[in-house]
Amino acid sequence: MTERPDDFDPDLWFEPNRDAESAATSSSNEPTNVCRVAALSSMLAADEDPLRGLQPELSALGFAERLATGEVPFRHAAVEELRESAGRSFRSREEQRVEQWAAINQAADVASVYDFLLSVLQSPLERESAAAAVAIARDLHDQGGDGLIWSGWLNLALPDWDPWQLPDPELLRDYFEWDDVAWNSTLEQVRGTFAGQPLLWAQVLVELRLRLALRSADPVTRSLVHALFLTDDTTDIETEELEDGHAVPNVSLLIHGTNAWQGDWWRPGKGTFHHFVLSELRRDLYRGGARFGWNGYLRDTHRTLAARDLLDWAADLAPYGLRTVFAHSYGSDVAAKSWIFGLPVEELVLLSAPVNKAVVMAAAGIDHVVDVRLPFDPVLACARLFQRVSQSLPPLSNVDEVLLKWSLHHGASHDPLVWKAEDVVQRGHLI
């Protein structure tokens, strides 16, 4: 391990706490509780087990063995469970979280899960409260709860605000700092407005919390709520035949993920990670004006179109194919699909990538794949997506897995300071 740079952010990392008492509201334990909430979101997935193979990480978060191993799957009807838990939670407060967390591990039933999620939703801490709202909304949507008041849940990204105050239209796109006092006032107002209607009370709280999170000044909070919009809707895909060629690829490339086109980290001339890769790792990294970018939209069809666009881009600017592709989040799906569609790629570096069918195919076929990610990614867990190539494939000699330290930052995998501190280049055999 190399010495950490002087400007390294110590708040980036945390150590998970398995103690039951850590379920109480506490800023020091908030990262652990965010990950617990995210894990519960994945555990409630009806058809798959997105957490398989992550038993050590789940145990570190304090989950009982039978939950960490997936021995006890949850099966439930989301709306009915929310209705019953809302009735209990309306009369209680979030101080009961320790008992509710213990009940999850002891009873392993959905009622205790919803009790805990509704308590965390009311937390004065921004990140864990947002994570709970995402977990509840995600479960209700996936379980067919479209008849609830957020039936148009994708419209949450539109510039609406709370029902009591209409802001200046010019401020609709501004980010807002978290105000725990204002949130507590909102809790009291909603509680008073919907007394005797606990289900509607819970629905309104979730929607209000999501709307606040979408405009949070905190990037971690925004990334958590964006997980609500991430789905694995990948369709079946077949590898297209490649023409034989002998030229060596001499261009490397960065590809951003969803909702990230406006970011700078991947841009030539501006991005910190682009500068790091260009100066210290791949001198052939593309740095011209015709940079490749895609709209970062949410659907598989958008990513497939982006993969086709990458083929056209490479035909002009990388006619021999790509040497190394660094792809973050669902940008990895774009990279994988472009390889499947016939683009030569020698090396693929996955950065916090959701592991879907296309990524699995690319990992099994590309000469060298580096899987860089957090031990437990709360964004992918909230979205109920698989987190590691090793969850879907047996150990492969061409795949190097690089697990970073625990963090809530989905973008930590493209932070140059993280790469230096965690020896990613050496561990991923990228020399």
Helix, coil or strand: residue 371: strand
Q: How much is the pLDDT for 144?
A: 61
What confidence tier does 376 reach under pLDDT thresholds 50, 70, 90?
Answer: very high
| pLDDT at 4 exceeding the cut of 60 | no
Q: pTM here?
A: 0.88
User: Do 78 and 143 meet the contact criterion of CB atoms below 8 Å apart?
Assistant: yes
What confidence tier does 76 reach under pLDDT thresholds 50, 70, 90?
Answer: low
Joined tokens for residue 174? 């501004």
What confidence tier does 94 reach under pLDDT thresholds 50, 70, 90?
Answer: low
Phi, psi of 399 (to 5 degrees): -110, 120
Dist CA 61 CA 55 (whole Å) = 10
Dist CA 121 CA 187 (whole Å) = 10
Dist CA 25 CA 268 (whole Å) = 42
| pLDDT at 167 exceeding the cut of 50 | no
User: Do 1 and 422 meet the contact criterion of CB atoms below 8 Å apart?
Assistant: yes
Higher pLDDT, 293 or 239: 293
Provide the Cα torsion 133, 139, 143, 146; round to 10°.
20
| pLDDT at 227 exceeding the cut of 50 | yes
Q: Mind listing the domains of the chain with CATH numbers?
A: 13-229 (no CATH), 253-427 (3.40.50.1820)
| pLDDT at 262 exceeding the cut of 90 | no
Q: How much is the pLDDT for 165?
A: 46
Cβ count near 175 (within 10 Å): 12
Q: Percentage of the chain surpassing pLDDT 70? A: 82
Mean pLDDT value of segment 276-280 = 95
Q: How much is the pLDDT for 263?
A: 75
Dist CA 130 CA 210 (whole Å) = 7
